[in-house]
Structures are given as structure tokens and as C-alpha cells.
Amino acid sequence: MEPLLINVLLTILLLVSFSFLASLFNALVLEPKRLRSKLEKEGIKGPPHSFLLGNMWDLLSLKFKNSKRPQQGQQILTHNCAAFVFPFLVKWRNQYGPSFVFSLGNLQILHMNHPNALKELSTCTSFELGRPTHHHYDAMLGEGIIASSGRVWARQRKILAPELFVDKVKGMRKLMEESAFMVANALNEKIEKGGGVAELKIDDYTRSFAGDVLLKACFGTNYAQGKEIFLKLRDLQDVLAPVLLLQWIPGMRYLPTKSNRRIWRLEKEIKALILKVVKEREEAKSNPEKDLLQIIVESAERSDLGQQTDSFIVDNCKNIYFAGYETTSVSAAWTLMLLALYPEWQDKVRAEILENCGGLLPDADTLRRMKTLAMVINESLRLYSPAAIVPREALGDVKFGGINVPKGVGVFVSLITLHLDPDLWGPDADKFIPERFADGISGACKVPYAYMPFGAGPHTCIGQHFAMMELKIFLVHMLSNFAFTLSPKYIHSPFMNLVVEPEFGIDLLVTRL
């Protein structure tokens, strides 16, 4: 080869390597520094952070050092879930106030639990405040409704949200009742085998209830295939959850580690299974029932997405599963734990159910009328909010909560610390007091917007009516047939997996009424 050509090639190689290293240096060092100093100028402080890991190390060590010791069943004195789940956020909140900055990997995160920010989260419709662009959840969510922003998100929201409006959800009451019957039958069998009392982990049963409801709502007559898909999604979640924090480290999710390879394989299998159901429905040429899958498929066809059609269908099926399954199942389990711990509330809710339903299945209006039931569910969602964080990112420079937030900064509202903040909820913030909701949600806290288990603003949960109806139907079936007490085996240890769940399950003693 000509020496001149070699020189040219070497120069090009050198230039490419130099610009690669320069952009890496910019992303990992200069940009985080620039964002921090902009926030500091706005008066926002936070714990010092290190190169590449940010505050990951503090986060892990504080979690293990400060983690509350699990409490045995009846000795639960506090429901301060934040001390178990996010001790680092509690510490930094006490040190720096409700707004502070910390970092995960090279991403700078603004923790914003200030009342101004809460109001703005609820009212801000700007596309500049969107979902985080960091892709550590990619394997689960792809570019579905939960992970997307701007026009891509708006299109998906327009398609999916109306399918979960109150009127549509009323039509799903029957399928929810079938699933509640299934659980009641399983409990009856277990009680019979136990000679009149069953000792069990109730979260196993709430999981099968919520999974069954969602399966029928999504896959309708393709129930068996849907079940296979849900099992694979569960596997994916189990592999991803323990390594989720590591996925924040830049480049980590591309390394062919054992867990990454499993994640990639499961992703492929799930995609193939969902598309197989879609293809079979197309080939059957009969009019398929309008379950959520069918709505997603038909709207994808109408939108003429071309090559993106398959990922639109697959991603949104996955999104519905990840948004709607664990959230509802842990909420049902935590509520039964609280009712077992406070028998006087169990009696009150049961009395209301018997008075309103009188042995019949309640319709949507009767469910809406039951005030004590709603108060208990609201209080349970306050203390044990399954979705611990409402995440956003400044996709452009935005003013948020009175602070100029530069593009690229992540914005977190932490529901767990927000719902337990004594400045907002009073000195008894960590106590189970359903009466706070006696005048509805707006009267529960002195600061409006401080209660948001379903998030707030344009991205607010589209499944909240579905979830509330599901929880009410489940509790009506459980409380009108069974009595629940806490088993001495129960160890109270709220734990952050993808949602806030009971680390060792919830052990209850169940008898027939």
C-alpha cells in the first residue's frame, strides 16, 4: 500500500478515536459536571458523587446499613415504608430538603417533592417534561406507552386510554368476578385441607387473581397462549430485577453477561409468542373479540406504522403487563395485611359490604357507594404505594417547580417519601388511619396534589379505574367469605423490587365466616 494512503488511513483512525474519546469524556465527565453546576446555581444541593457510579455506592451501602430490621407480625409499630425501601432518600431529604440532586451512573437526578413541583407535575402538559430517555428498562418496556414521550407517547395514549375509561371498565366487572371466585375456591380448598384454618402467603393468591384478570382483559379467548406469554414476562422480570440498578452504569446492558444473555433470549421468545397469537387471529378471519390485544393490533394497522407495527404491538402488550400486574397484586396483598392487623377495620368494611350487597354481587354503582372500602384502599395505597417513583426527564430546558431544570436532568417525585412526609401528613403520617380519606382524596392532606399513588398530569395511570374496580371486587369477595388474621410467621419487610413488595410474603391465617 502507498505510504501516503497509509498515512491518510492512520490520520482518519486517529481522528475517529480522538472524537470517540472526546464524546465519551463529555458524556461521562463534562456534561454531568455542567448539569450539576447549573442546578447548584438554582440553589439545589446534594450528596457528592463519584465518576461513573454517581451515588450508586452510597445508595447501596445506606440501604444495607440503615435498612430497618424486619419486624415480626404483630409488633408492627410503624408503616414507614420509606425507611425500609429508600433510606438514602430519607437521609438526603432530611439533609438537603425536599429538592436535591443525586446521580445514578452519569445521569443527574433532581428529587422534587416540593409542593410547587407537585402542582406543576399535575398541570404541566409540555412535551419538554417527558419520560426518562435512559434505557435501563428497555427489555421490559421497549418504546411502549410507559417508556415513550412526545408525539410517540401521545399517539399510544390516545389509543389505549379510552379502552380503560370508567364505562369500558364497568363492562369488565364479570371477568374480575370470575377471577375472584377462582381465588375464593382455592382458599376454600386450602381451609378444608387445614381442618378449618389455612395458613398461607396471601400474595401468592393476589398474584394469581391479578394475573388472571389481566390475562382475560388482554388475551380473551387466547387465554392459554396469553398465560405462556405472561410466564415468560415474569421470568424476564425475575432476571432483570436484581440487575436493574447495574443497568444504570453506562454500557452495562450491552455486555454479554449471563443475565443479559438470558434477557435477550427471553425478549426474542416473548416477541415470537405475541406475534404468533396475532398471526393466528388474522388467519382465523373470524371476528375476534375486542380484548386489549385486539385493540392494539387494529389501531396499529389503522395508524399505518409499516415496519414498526410489530414492535408497537409487542411493546404495548409488555407495557400493560408490567404496569398492571404486580401493582394491583401487591396493593391487594398489602390491603389484606392491614385489615388483618387492624381487625376493627376489617369488621367495619365487612359490615359495609354485607349492608350494601346483602349476599348479591355488587354492581359498579354499589361498589362506588362503599365509602369505608374506598377509604381503606386509599390509605393502603398511601402507606404502601406500589409504584415508588414517578419519573420524568427534562427533554429540553424547562422551568419546573420554580427551578430552571437543564435538558438531560432526570426528575423524580418519590411517592413513598411524599406519602409519609410528616410536614405534609402530620406527625401520624406513618400510622394506618383510613379516616383521613373520610372527605375523599382532596380533603386527605393539607397540601393538594400530595397524594398520587397513580401518578399525576398527562402521564397519569390509565389503568386506575381498572385497578380500583379490581381491588374492590377482590376485597368484597374475600371479606364476605373469609376472616383474616396475621400469622405469627409474618415478617414485615417492605422491599423494592420493581414495585414495593413484601420481601418474605404476607403470611395470614384464613378461616371461613
Annotated binding residues for heme:
461
Minimum distance from residue 468 beta carbon to ligand HEM (Å): 8
**Binding string, 215-254, against ligand HEM, x = CB under 6 A?**
----------------------------------------
Residue 143: all three cell numbers together: 418504546
C-alpha–C-alpha distance, residues 493 and 506, integer Å: 10
Task: Indicate whether 126 belongs to the interface with ligand HEM (CB under 6 A).
Answer: no
C-alpha–C-alpha distance, residues 212 and 230, integer Å: 10
> Which residues in the 329-388 window bind ligand HEM by CB under 6 A?
331, 386-387
Three-state SS for 76? coil
Minimum distance from residue 325 beta carbon to ligand HEM (Å): 8
CB 397 within 8 A of CB 407: yes
Task: Indicate whether 462 belongs to the interface with ligand HEM (CB under 6 A).
Answer: yes
User: Going by DSSP bridges, is the β-strand pair 71-72/494-496 parallel, antiparallel, or unpaired?
Assistant: unpaired
CB 312 within 8 A of CB 296: yes
- Among positions 455, 473, 492, 496, the unique one binding ligand HEM when judged by CB under 6 A: 455
Minimum distance from residue 440 beta carbon to ligand HEM (Å): 18
> Which residues in the 464-503 window bind ligand HEM by CB under 6 A?
466-467
Stretch that binds ligand HEM, among 58-66, 175-183, 256-264, 320-328 (CB under 6 A): 320-328
The owner of cell 450528596 is 47
CA neighbours within 13 Å on the CB side: how many for 4?
Answer: 0
Segment 485-488 long-range contacts (CB within 8 Å, at least 24 positions apart): 485/340, 485/343, 485/509, 486/73, 486/74, 486/337, 486/340, 486/341, 487/73, 487/199, 488/72, 488/73, 488/74
Residue 76 identity = I
Task: Indicate whether 418 belongs to the interface with ligand HEM (CB under 6 A).
Answer: no
Measured from the CB atom, the residue of 154 and 491 that comes closer to ligand HEM is: 154
Three-state SS for 397? coil
The owner of cell 431544570 is 405
Question: What's the farthest any 2 CA atoms get from each other in the chain?
Answer: 94
Task: Indicate whether 320 belongs to the interface with ligand HEM (CB under 6 A).
Answer: yes
Task: Indicate whether 124 belongs to the interface with ligand HEM (CB under 6 A).
Answer: no
- Would you list which residues are annotated within the binding site? 461
Minimum distance from residue 64 beta carbon to ligand HEM (Å): 26
Task: Indicate whether 323 belongs to the interface with ligand HEM (CB under 6 A).
Answer: yes
Task: Indicate whether 327 belongs to the interface with ligand HEM (CB under 6 A).
Answer: yes
CB 144 within 8 A of CB 315: yes
Residues at the contact surface with ligand HEM, assessed by CB under 6 A: 145-146, 157, 164, 319-320, 323-324, 327-328, 331, 386-387, 390, 453-457, 459-463, 466-467
